[in-house]
Amino acid sequence: MNIRSLLALAPVIPVLTIERVADAVPLGRALCAGGLRALEVTLRTPACLPAIEAMRKALPEALVGVGTLTRPRDFVDASNAGAQFGVSPGLTAELAAAAAEVQFPLLPGVMTPTELLAGLGWGYDTFKLFPAQQAGGVNMLKAFAGPFPTVLFCPTGGITRATAPDYLALKNVACVGGSWVAPPERVHAGDWQAIEELARDAASLRKVAG
């Protein structure tokens, strides 16, 4: 599956920071049951890679990706864990070269026109605007639409349930990344029903343009 097809699966990609491997499968199951199948597990804790492995084995209906790829070595580790897509906060020549050596597609992060031009030069046409709110949010994406009419974005960073519809209304936004669907307190409490309900609500958001 290419990155655009993956982003078209649902209006929201959950951005997950998993502290305990034991939470991975029930968390992923709740999100999938709510209609969010593409899951980004951030490479921010020791549990990340084992969590991806556990999700891949137990949840064939999910598409499990790895986020926060910042070093070439991260791509190898993510591939070995079975990641089906990758997400990076930025893009360098080294990361682009590492991405070319693995089988999963990459959603690279950009924040400025210069970074976007570099990404286009490396063959990408779909990006994560990150951090979206700090980068200018909806107004920045509107500004990008003129000079970059064929580029699609998955803005991530500071987006909430309340602001997500504003992003999804833009023609150049495929979906948004959000952590609100899996609040840490709900994960720690094992409140999977609440997370499923949050996921179902997020999945009900609809693109109104584009």
Residues with a catalytic annotation lie at: 40, 128
Residue 54's contacts (CB-CB under 8 Å, 6 or more residues apart) are: 21, 24, 25
Coarse DSSP helix, strand, coil percentages of the chain, rounded to the nearest 5 percent:
40, 15, 45
CB atoms within 10 A of CB 181: 26
Contact yes or no for 64/87 (Cβ under 8 A)? no
41-to-45, 78, 165, 207, 208 alpha-carbon distances in Å: 10, 10, 23, 24, 28
Query: What is the phi/psi pair of residue 159, to 5°?
Result: -85, 135
